Amino acid sequence: MKLLVTGSEGFIGSHLVEELVYAGHEVTAFVHYNSFNSEGWLDALPEKVRKAVKVTMGDVRDSGSVRAAVKGQDRVAHLAALIAIPYSYIAPHSYYETNALGTLNVLDACRDFGVERLVHTSTSEVYGSAQYVPIDEKHPLVGQSPYSASKIAADQLAHSYWASFGLPVTTLRPFNSYGPRQSQRAFIPSVMVQVLSGASKLKLGSLAPTRDLTFVKDTARGFVKALESDAGLGEVFNMGSGFEISMSDVVEMIRTISDQPFDVVEDFERLRPKTSEVARLWSDSSQVKDIFGWSPVHAEKEGLVRGLEKTYEWFRNHFGSPGYQSNSYVV
C-alpha cells in the first residue's frame, strides 16, 4: 500500500517507517520543514531502508502542505505532534496549533482525498492520574497539562470526523514508549545519558510516579497492524506492556544494567507543577489484542529489563551525539 507517516522523523515515527518498509509498503515520510535539510531520525535508518522512503517536507499546521502529502495515499499514520510536557507549560498555544489544528488539517485532507484508513496517535497522558487500574479505553479523559489537553482535543476531533462524516479513523493510544532514538527530554534517556557520563549524582525529577513502559519496537508493530487492518474504525485502542513500575524502580534497573555507582538528587527544575503531575498509568490493552492481535514482545518485568538493556546499549554506542549532553536539562 501507499502509506504516509506524519511525524516520521521523530522517535516513534522513524521506527514505524522502518517497520513499514520491511513489511513491503511504499512509504512517504512527512517531515517538519527545517532550514538545515535535516530529516531527523530518518537519517539514522539503514541505507537500504532510507533509499526506499520518499521524503516530503511541510508542516501539519499548513493545510496546503498536508493536502499535497496526503493526495494519492492509500492510508495515513498521523504521529506529528509537540510532545514535551514541560515545554507545554512555556508555549501552550503552539501545542494547540500543532496538535489540535494540525490534526484537523490531516482529517480534512484524508476526508477530501478519500483515504481508506487513518490511524491517529493519542497518548496515555489524556487519562491524567489513574482513577482506577488498569486503565481501559472507558477511563475519563483529564487534561492535567496543556499537552494532554491539546491531545484530548485532537482525539475528539478524530472521533467527530468518524461520527459526522464516516472518515475511517482509528485511534491508537500508546503508553510511555521508550527505546533507541528517544529524546533526552524523556526520563529513561535522561538517566542513561547521565550514567554514561560517569556522573556520581544524577539530577532527576519525581521518582514516585508509576508508568506502563512500552518498548518502541512493540509500539511500531502495533501501528503496522492497525494500518494493515480494516477493523476497529471509530474506536480507540490502548497499547501498553501491562506492567506498572515506579520511576525509582526503573532507576534501580538501570543501575544494575550499567553496573555503575551513583546517587540521585532531586532537581526542582524537572518537577511538574504539583496538580499537573500524572501519578499513575497502567494500561489495559486487551482490546487491541482482541481486534488487531497485538501484544508486546517486551512484556512485564522481564521484558522491560530486555528493553532497557537494548536501550542502554544504543545510548552507549551514541553517547555524545548531538542532542545527548549530560550536563544539560532538555525541556
Closest to 190 in 3D by CA, of 182, 266, 175, 211: 182
Q: Look up residue 130 and give its amino acid.
A: A
Q: Which fold has domain 178-211+243-280+300-317?
A: UDP-galactose 4-epimerase; domain 1 (3.90.25)
Q: At what angle do helices 63-70 and 102-112 cross, to 10 degrees?
A: 40
Burial tier of 42 (Cβ tally within 10 Å: 0-12, 13-18, 19+)? buried
Strand pairing report for 54-58 and 214-215: unpaired
Which residue ranges in the chain fall short of pLDDT 50? none
Q: Look up residue 124 and give its amino acid.
A: S
Quote the CA–CA distance of 113 and 207 in Å, as a whole number. Answer: 47
pLDDT score for 326: 79
Sign of torsion over alpha carbons 196, 199, 201, 202: negative
List the beta bridge partners of residue 178.
215
List the beta bridge partners of residue 58.
32
Cα torsion for 237, 211, 145, 312, to the nearest 10°?
-100
- Give the 3-state DSSP-derived string for 249-302, with helices as H, strands as E and coil as C: HHHHHHHHHHCCCCEEEECHHHCCCHHHCCCECCECCHHHHHHHCCCCCCCHHH
Quote the CA–CA distance of 296 and 325 in Å, as a whole number. Answer: 31
Closest to 53 in 3D by CA, of 36, 31, 32, 70: 31
Q: Look up residue 284 and give its amino acid.
A: D
Q: Look up residue 84 and give its amino acid.
A: A
pLDDT score for 262: 96
Burial tier of 263 (Cβ tally within 10 Å: 0-12, 13-18, 19+)? exposed
Quote the CA–CA distance of 87 and 272 in Å, as a whole number. Answer: 11
pLDDT score for 268: 83
Quote the CA–CA distance of 30 and 2 in Å, as a whole number. Answer: 13
User: In which region does residue 293 sit, left (phi positive, over 0), alpha (psi from -120 to 50) or beta (all else)?
Assistant: left
Q: Look up residue 193 and give its amino acid.
A: V
pLDDT score for 330: 78
Q: What is the pLDDT of residues 207-220, one digit of tens each?
A: 999 999 999 999 99
pLDDT score for 82: 97
pLDDT score for 164: 98
Q: What is the pLDDT of residues 241-266, one digit of tens each?
A: 989 999 999 999 999 999 999 999 98
Quote the CA–CA distance of 68 and 11 in Å, as a whole number. Answer: 24
Grid cell 518502541 — which residue? 216
pLDDT score for 329: 79
Please state the domain extents for the chain.
2-177+215-239, 178-211+243-280+300-317
User: In which region does residue 320 sit, left (phi positive, over 0), alpha (psi from -120 to 50) or beta (all else)?
Assistant: left
Burial tier of 46 (Cβ tally within 10 Å: 0-12, 13-18, 19+)? exposed
Residue pair 217/297 in contact (Cβ under 8 Å)? The answer is: yes
Q: Which fold has domain 2-177+215-239?
A: Rossmann fold (3.40.50)
Reading the block at residue 273, the C-alpha cell is: 507543577
